[in-house]
Every structure is written in C-alpha cells, then in structure tokens.
Structure 1
Amino acid sequence: MSTERKSVSEEEIGESILRLVAERGEGKTVCPSEVARHLGGPHPDAWSPLMQPVRRMAVRLTKEGRIAILRKGKPVADPDDFRGIYRLGMPAPDTGEA
C-alpha cells in the first residue's frame, strides 16, 4: 500500500480555510483539524503534518482581516502569540461606520 503524501500548497490551505469558514457562517467556527482533514484526508498520517501550515495560514489570514482566530470564543489579541486550542471564524463586523 502506498503512503504517498499529497503535496498541499499554501494557496490551497488558504482557500480551504476561507471556504470552510464562509460555509460555516457568521457566529460559527471551524476547528483547524477540519481544514487539515479536508485537505489531507481522514488518515492522521496525511492530515496531521498539515496542522502547522494551517496555523501559519490562519495567522496570515487573520492579519489580513479575512478570518478571526478565536480562543474560548474570543478573538486572540495577538495572532503571532497565542497558545492552546483555537478555532477559526468570520472576522468581527467592522463597526466603524459613519
């Protein structure tokens, strides 16, 4: 049996995060492992190595304001410095309207 690993690009990771978060909708979140499984398949040997690339892309997308990284239901203060279990969701609506 082949244990070939499918190569996944940063672009594919970013697109998957954005698509899954959008499909889940406002007020709902996605687990980073869902993104990794979506890209790598159900076997841990395939999706587990994608967890760090998913986190790196989540940080990038958060800095761009396209998603939010949430811990205990609240957006993280610093996307470069958070620990533990986190979820991905839609960014908070911009309330700076005139």
Structure 2
Amino acid sequence: MAHRSALPSKPCTVCGRTITWRKKWERDWDAVRYCSDACRRTGVRSTDRELETTILSLLAARASDATICPSDAARAVGGDTWRDLMEPARAAARRLVTAGEVVITQGGAVVDPSTAKGPIRIRRVRRG
C-alpha cells in the first residue's frame, strides 16, 4: 500500500480541507468534490463568499506583509453574532489558500490549512 502522502489529493470545495484518494473512489475520483456529507449538504453560501471578499479587502487595506485573524472577517460580516462565523471564516481562508490568494500562518510560519489547529493568521501570498 502506498504511503498516504503519495496518494492523490484535492481540496474540498466547501471547507477547503484536503481530500485524500481512497480505493472506493477509484472509478469516480474526478467527481469527488466534498470531504463529508456535512459539506455536501451545506455547500458554499452567500455568507461564505462574503467572508472571502471581506478577508481580501481587509488584507488589501493593510501592508503587504500584514496578517489578519479570521475573527476580523467574522466581526466585519457578523456584527454581534460574529462568533457563529468563526469556523466559516476559517473555511473561507482555506478556500482562498486553494485559490492561491492567501497563506495561513502560525507563529509566523506558513502551515497546511487542513491540519492547522489553534489560532491562525491570514496573509496575502508574497509575489515575486
């Protein structure tokens, strides 16, 4: 059996977490889009797209090497109920990582968004 890191993978279209190839998906791997039934049911909502846009606009208003916390975007979109938007904000950041727009850091180092636990920061991708 191949080591897990040698197997094909792709991001979930909803949460941005990594989906790793499984034998049962051999015939329809190209059609696999979701990491779980919860992501399949939920889909990407307008609030999720608004969080993505807010993350990008918050970063655009700061220095090129500045970072933001997902809570900054959640507060901007959710107002008083921002805490309910924390996981959607993290998912929006993961989707933006997949799109190549941002990176997720912890302690100043870029980390894999699928495995990052605890506090994270979001920074624009450094070009050049």
Give the alignment's TM-score, normalised by structure 2: 0.61
Matched residue pairs, number?
A: 84
| Alignment partners' CA distance in 2, 1:25 and 1:19 | 12
| Alignment partners' CA distance in 2, 1:37 and 1:8 | 16
How do 1:17-56 residues align onto structure 2 when only pairs under 5 Å count? 17-41=55-79, 43=80, 46-56=81-91
CA contact (8 A) 1:31 1:88 kept: yes
Give the Å deviation of 1:25.
2.5
Matched AA of 2:66: K
Please say if 1:13 is aligned against 2:42.
no
CA contact (8 A) 1:63 1:79 kept: no
- Can you give the 5+ residue segments of structure 2 that lack an aligned partner in the other structure? 1-44
Give the alignment's TM-score, normalised by structure 1: 0.78
| Alignment partners' CA distance in 2, 1:21 and 1:82 | 20
- Can you give the 5+ residue segments of structure 1 that lack an aligned partner in the other structure? 1-6
